[in-house]
Every structure is written in C-alpha cells, then in structure tokens.
Structure 1
Amino acid sequence: MSVSPALQTPFSQRRRIIAALLVLVAALCFSAKAVLVKLAYRYGIDSISLLTLRMVFSLPFFIGIAIWAKNRALKEYRHIILSNQDWAYIFILGLSGYYLASMLDFMGLAYITAGLERLILFLYPTMVLGMNTLFFKKPVTRSQLIALALTYGGVILALMDRSQLGAGSNVPLGAVLIFFSGFAYAIYLVGSGQYIVRIGSLRYTCIAMIAASAGVILQHAIIYQLALFHYPVQVYVLSLIMAIFSTVLPTFMMSEAIRIIGAGNVAIIGSVGPVATIVLGYFLLGETFGLWQLMGTILVIIGVLRISLK
C-alpha cells in the first residue's frame, strides 16, 4: 500500500540516521547509570546521598534549559499558561517518575547486580500496558498477553541464575525494590501524555526533573542536614558523570529521537540497554552472568519489543 505524501516523515534520511545514533548513545548512557552507582557504593556513600548528589549536579542544567524553552516559546507565541492544578499534577508526576523511581532504583542496586537491575527496569512498558487497560479500558490483545508471558517469564529465569546470589546480597528484596521503581516510572509515563502534547517534551521534562530534585534535596536536608561534602573525591566525580552523561544528555537525546523517528523505532534501538548493562557490569564491576540470565534477558527484550511496537 502506498503512503500518502502528507503522511511521510518530514525528516531527511540523514536526520533519521542521526536520531537512531542518538538513541543508541542514550541507551548506553542510561545503562551506565547502574554501573556508576555500584562504583560509588564502594566508597561508603548511602543511596539517598548519592541520589541527592546526582540531582544537585543535574538541577542547574534543567533549570537553564527550562528557562531557554520558555523564552523560545514566548518568542514564537507558543507559550502555554499552566494552572495551579496543572503545576500540582506535573510536580506529582515528576516526584513519581524521577524521585520515587530513582530512590527505589538506587536502594535496589545495593542488593542486586547492575545487569539484573536493568533487566527488571526494562519491564516498565508492560506496566504501562496494564495501567492503560485498568484505567483507560484499553483491551489487551493476544499478542500482548504473549509478550507479558515472555517478559515476566524472562525475569523469573534471570532470578534463578545462581550467579546473582552473591555473598551478603538480598536478591529478592533488591528485585522488589527495582520492580516498584519501574512501576513508579510507568505511572509517570501514563500521566505525562496530555502535558507533553500541551507544553512540549522539553519543558515538561525540565519541570518534572526540577520537582524531583526538590523532593530529593528536601529529604536529604531532613535526614542528613545536607551533609554532602565529606566523601572521597571519586564520589563527586562519579556523581557528576552520572548527572551529565546518565541523566541530562540521554533524557534529551531520547526526546529528540522520539520526535524524529517515533517511539517504536526508539524501542527497537533502546533494547540494547539491558545487554549493554550486563557487558559493562562484567568488565567494570566484575559481575558474572550465567545461561539462565542470558536466556531471561533475550525473552524480556523480545516481549518488551512486542508491546512497545504495538
């Protein structure tokens, strides 16, 4: 069937290739986050303090980009005024997607390997599917049910891998924490659609990240009185790398790529994430992985791709 010229992509092949490369780089950057967290834990920092440092280093970038995006929208007469209710909803979603999800993720990484963390987090599209079915009454197709069986079956296989049972680790607790991290992020995605359409992904992401940063910093102020400057210099280097290369840059790379090549193509290329984390964990952290985890990873990627492409 021929495609109408009006429906054809307005972007050149060169721009679409560049967008695909952006997704690949962003996926690798996101995958490196778990490895950077595990490396930082070796210097005795707790999960709340590490997350706070990540947000403190990220916050100036998001504030600056938010101001730039607002000024650009004003010049182009596209600035959307948000009501108090809109601000409240965006802040709640930001706290869910980047505060609660990140907190649970960092806590879970204290118990499981980086490779297994990325694999469980990769389940979030299945959670989005479940929420859309529950709250928006969208029917679940046979293909989606098969995808759900593949994804969760793959995680079960990975959890059976004896290579995950390191000394002193609590794999079940870590897996539960990471699962609910993905669940919190899925809530953010499901609730974000209307606002991304209204005010644009750039401005929306910045507001959500600013809200999350405020929540993290406030929590640390209450618990630890912002005592953040007594760690080895390696912790600050790792936190800065995490803020720039595993938070700010990949966030906007993904947003731009989705605009150019669509979410389906982004899902295909982004599926390199769990594999990349396993490889990075093997070389940088000395983590091991066995046949069960490898088989589980393949099943999860296949299942998530089936759902994402639909």
Structure 2
Amino acid sequence: MKQTTKTFIYGIALGILGIVLFSSKAVMVKLAYQYKVHAISILLLRMLFSLPFYIIIAYLYRNQNTGTTVKNKDYAWIVFFGFVGYYLASYFDFVGLTYIKASLERIILFLYPTVVILLNRFFLKQPITKIQMGAIALTYLGIVIAFWHEVAMSGNDTYIGGFFILLSAITYASYLVGSGWLIPKFGVMKFTAYAMIISCVCVFVHYSIMSHDDLFGFSWEVYVLGFLIAVFATVIPSFLVSASIKMISSSNFAIVAGVGPISTIILASVFLSEKLTILQFFGALVVIAGIMLVSLNKPKVKE
C-alpha cells in the first residue's frame, strides 16, 4: 500500500503523542503517592476508570471474525495473559514507583524489547543476531550507568524499586511473547479488551483481599489522577500507538518510541522536580540507542 508523505507525518505525530501520554503515567502515579495512597489503590482507580471503555470495545467487536477457529483453551490463555501481562506487570510497576524516580522507572521498563528477544531465544529457539547481542549488551550497560549512580545518591531503596520495575518488564515481555499467537485468532481490539477486563478483575480481587484503604476516603486529587491515568495514560495512547504503527510501520515506530524515556525525564523534571545527572542522562541515551538497534534489526517483512 502506497504511503503519502502527509500520512507518514500524521502517523509520526500520533505515535509521538501516544508515547508521551504513555510516559506521563509514571509521573501521575508519583503525584498520587504524595497523597499517601498505596500502589494497589491507585492501580484500582486506573482499572475502574478504564474498565467501561474496554467493555464497550469488547461489545463492539464481539462478532468480529478473523477467519480462525477459537477454542475454549484459547480463552483460558487470555485469562492467563491478562493476569500476567496487564495485572502483574502493572502491579510490579506501581510498586516499583514507590521506591524510585519516574525517570529511572521509564529507563528500566524500556528494556522489555531485549527481554522479548531473550525469551524468544530460550523458549522458541529463535536465533539472536550479532547486532542484536551487541545492542542488548549496550542497553544493559546504559542501565548499569543510570542505576549505579542513582544508588550512590538515593541508597538501597533503589535496588528494591529497580527489582520490581525489572519484574514488570519481564512479565510484560512474557505477555508479548506468549500472546503473539492468540492475537491473530481474536484480533487486536478484541484480544486487548478481553485481556484488560481480566486484568481489572484481578486488581479488584487483589484490592478486596489485601487493601485496607477506604475506596471512598481518598482526597479528590487522587480520584482525578486515577481518572487521568486511566484515560490519558492508558486508553487513549493505546489507540494512538496502534494507529501510528498501522500508518508508519512497526520499524519506524521503534524509532518514535525512543521519545518515551526522554519525555518521562522532561515531565518528571517539570512536575516532580526530579533531576538526572549528566551521567544518568548519558545512560538513558545508551539504553535508547540499544533498544532502537534491537527493534530495527529484524527480518524484513512486507508491511
């Protein structure tokens, strides 16, 4: 399909907007923590406000036919990946943010493409090219640079936060690897909606069992931030990113995605007064360079 310059520019603009909105999530979560709210509580609000949108999407696409037979075990796998990819990954991310800066969170979370490649190698026996190996090494070098300097400044809590964010990256990467064969069966919209609904249920169960917070006892700022996280850092950017990939291709979007850590660093500086040292910023650039090499060094496919 021919692609006009106007369409390409529009696709890039949508991609950048989507990535910036996604990046704002960590900043808004950190703002919510200033009101003494727990990780599971702000995650619950995110899911509560997101749920109606995904129920509507699931209803609208309920009769979508992808031309493949969907079996009962496929629905069981959706439950599993909804639990792993959206519930666990989100929960680990929100817990990690109680310990580390939003800007450092985004840098670590940006590792998930390298985890996807490593999981594909170990479980699906897909080969890793020399360029990819070099890019992965470069990426983790950047993490070590940014992370080590933060430990020196902020102490051992950085280890705890970094561990949870790494778990988030690993669980999200596992979701991407495992769900790849399910998406063609259900379609992107239906699969995403179903997985998100399952995730919402998991969060509701977790909150009802483990949380001692009063759902109606938060300050109004917490509810506003929960709504903003749900709509502007979850639902809207998910559609913007999908539209961007469709218009400019996944390879070009990999370049656009490099805006993510930088936008988080800027937003965290403006709204949270977070500052990265020159050495940490250099580490972030190294991570971005490595991820772009990993993402772009893929077999050629017809788009």
Q: 1:95–1:215: 8 Å Cα contact kept in structure 2? A: yes
Q: 1:122–1:274: 8 Å Cα contact kept in structure 2? A: yes
Q: 2:66–2:184: 8 Å Cα contact kept in structure 1? A: no
Distance, in Å, in 1 between the alignment partners of 2:286 and 2:296 is: 16
1:117 aligned residue: 105
Q: How much is the aligned-residue C-alpha RMSD, in angstroms?
A: 1.7
Q: 1:118–1:274: 8 Å Cα contact kept in structure 2? A: yes
Q: What secondary structure does 1:165 align onto?
A: helix
Alignment counterpart, residue 136 of structure 2, candidates 138, 143, 148: 148
Q: What secondary structure does 1:60 align onto?
A: helix
1:300 aligned residue: 287
Alignment CA distance shift 1:307-1:162 (3 Å):
closer
Q: 1:163–1:289: 8 Å Cα contact kept in structure 2? A: no
2:300 aligned residue: none
| Alpha-carbon offset, residue 261 of structure 1 | 2.0
Alignment counterpart, residue 107 of structure 1, candidates 76, 80, 95: 95
| Alpha-carbon offset, residue 161 of structure 1 | 2.1
The TM-score normalised by the length of structure 1 is 0.91
| Alpha-carbon offset, residue 259 of structure 1 | 2.3
Residue by residue over 1:62-104, the C-alpha shift from the partner in whole angstroms, topping out at 9 and shown as x without a partner, is 0101111224x2xxx5576632211110111111111000000
Alignment counterpart, residue 187 of structure 1, candidates 171, 174, 190: 174
* AA matched with 1:230: G
Distance, in Å, in 2 between the alignment partners of 1:291 and 1:238 is: 31
Distance, in Å, in 2 between the alignment partners of 1:272 and 1:200 is: 28
| Alpha-carbon offset, residue 164 of structure 1 | 7.2
Q: 2:120–2:126: 8 Å Cα contact kept in structure 1? A: yes
* AA matched with 2:30: K
Q: Please list every run of 5 or more consecutive structure 2 residues that lacks an aligned counterpart in the other structure.
A: 298-303
Residue by residue over 1:196-240, the C-alpha shift from the partner in whole angstroms, topping out at 9 and shown as x without a partner, is 222211111111111111100111112237831100000000000
* AA matched with 2:76: A
Distance, in Å, in 2 between the alignment partners of 1:101 and 1:157 is: 24
Identity %: 41
The TM-score normalised by the length of structure 2 is 0.93
Q: Does 1:274 align with 2:261?
A: yes
Alignment counterpart, residue 206 of structure 1, candidates 193, 202, 212: 193
Q: Please list every run of 5 or more consecutive structure 1 residues that lacks an aligned counterpart in the other structure.
A: 1-8
Residue by residue over 1:272-297, the C-alpha shift from the partner in whole angstroms, topping out at 9 and shown as x without a partner, is 00011011111100111101111110
1:18-37 alignment runs, 5 A limit: 18-37=10-29
Q: Does 1:97 align with 2:85?
A: yes
**Alignment size in residue pairs:** 297
Q: 1:91–1:211: 8 Å Cα contact kept in structure 2? A: yes
2:301 aligned residue: none
Distance, in Å, in 2 between the alignment partners of 1:45 and 1:225 is: 11
Q: What secondary structure does 1:229 align onto?
A: coil
| Alpha-carbon offset, residue 47 of structure 1 | 0.2
Q: 1:113–1:164: 8 Å Cα contact kept in structure 2? A: no
* AA matched with 1:92: F
Alignment CA distance shift 1:90-1:33 (3 Å):
same
